[in-house]
Amino acid sequence: MHLGFTRPTTAFPPSFEEAETPQNDVLATSRSLRGHLSTTDKNHAIGMNTERFPPYTFPRPAWLPHIENPSSSLPPSIDWVEKGAVTPVKDQGQCGSCYSFSAVGAVEGAYYLQTGVLSEFSMQEIVDCDGLDGGCQGGEMQQTFKWMQMNGGLCLLSDYPYVSGTTAEEQAVCLPCPVVPGTAPEKWITVRRNSMTELQEAVAAQPVSVAVGASRAWMFYEAGVFDGKCEQELNHGVLCVGYGGGEGSEEGQYWKVKNSWGPEWGMEGYILLKRDDFDKQAACGIMEDASYPILPSVPGMTGNEPARPPVISQAGRSSGSTVGLNPLQGSATARDCGGSTAIFSNVRISPDAVEKNELVTVMAEGTLTKPTLSGTYTLSVVYEGAQLYSHAGDVCGNETVALPLNAGTVHVFGFACPANPGPVSYGLDVILPSIAPSGEYLISIKGHDQDNAQLVCIEADLKL
């Protein structure tokens, strides 16, 4: 059961592929351990603070469905860190939020594989806003995937930074932040329990959220393949990012696991766990509760493209969470679509040679033929023939709209309502930053007035 829950978690029953099992964060550590570490513990490390986390446990799941589409041919080893699909190690601090780090890490890897872009997403958003889990009192990765789906995805870490590691509690308010399209799982797959082959198949495809029984020996791990004692109960959510070893290997077969205790712990924040199909406890229960998200494709984004790692500040947070392209010069045109009660005889765009990170202004001037008291518009952004974004707004007044994937902003300059028949203007400011994918963009605004009559229709073509 969850410890210290203040929000209900049973309002959403699991589906077949969304099996949810109770589990709680995280360390099987208590303050009484300090000063009682035996020098005979294997793989002990020095300089670790045993008072950082409260003792939580969560029971092993009783039922797990079979993984989809297992592969018959597996690579002998894989390391998603080396392949660029894993963001830097972070520190959950004094908050029991390991489940959020595990689930976010799985989404970051899946998003990279879908888009070719390595982005850091927010754990704090989950801690503060996820009503299915327990904030700093623990949670479970499958429920977190479910909440991500319900929420429409995740925000960037830079938009919602992690603070609970210091405060040891969730914030009192769930803060608004722009969700990155393509980060809401379509579903999540749970790996069949105690199958080394099927977990290997899953990890060969993408980073996988796993639960382990972290013990005192685990806590003080330094290097090498861990073969110390593990807790019987699963109590900690981590991310399996690869596997290796095998015949001829000195260390033997292992799982590579990303922890959330900072880069000072273990092997720069990672641990190698023994991979053994016959000894189910050898890897601290890693094969007992593993799952991974399936993300939708993102229009205009291609998976497995080369991506630079994000630039990391000294504090360990991304100062540019999404990797982009160099500015390129392009072209721009704009027009009145016609058929509206606002007839724009003069539509101009400046400049007509577009560059990334440059302001592009579309200004339409003409005549309003019907009184306008109110109305709505739809802003549509199409990239390379596929709709990237759609937004509804008010035709009266001004509004700033952030495009998805950090692809830029559109500032809409609307009507001053009530607007009487006569001269009228309507405009857009568009900024496509350096991270916006190169290609052709069609940005259109179509508005209707209070009588649902078409009021305005403007299109702008931008080629980068």
Q: Which of 95, 98, 129, 457 is labelled catalytic?
A: 98
Q: In whole angstroms, what is the distance from residue 149 CA to residue 131 CA?
A: 13
Look at strands 208-212 and 290-294 and give their pairing. antiparallel
- Rounded to 5 degrees, what are φ and ψ at 95? -105, 135
Residue 286 near residue 240, CB atoms below 8 Å: yes
Active site (annotated) includes residue 98? yes
3-state secondary structure of 103: helix
HSE at residue 63, side-chain half, CA atoms within 13 A, is: 8
Q: In whole angstroms, what is the distance from residue 28 CA to residue 32 CA?
A: 11
Residue listed under structure tokens 């099927």 = 198
- Rounded to 5 degrees, what are φ and ψ at 122? -85, 125
Q: Which of 24, 43, 235, 259 is labelled catalytic?
A: 259
Residue listed under structure tokens 């513990």 = 41
Active site (annotated) includes residue 240? no
Structure token pair of residue 248: 């001829």
Q: Which of 236, 240, 406, 448 is labelled catalytic?
A: 236
- Helix residue ranges, H only, 262-341: none
The most distant pair of C-alpha atoms in the chain lies apart, rounded to whole Å, by: 88
The angle, 0 to 180 degrees and rounded to 10, between the axes of the packed helices 141-151 and 98-115 is 60
Residue 364 near residue 424, CB atoms below 8 Å: no
Active site (annotated) includes residue 236? yes
Active-site amino acid positions: 98, 236, 259
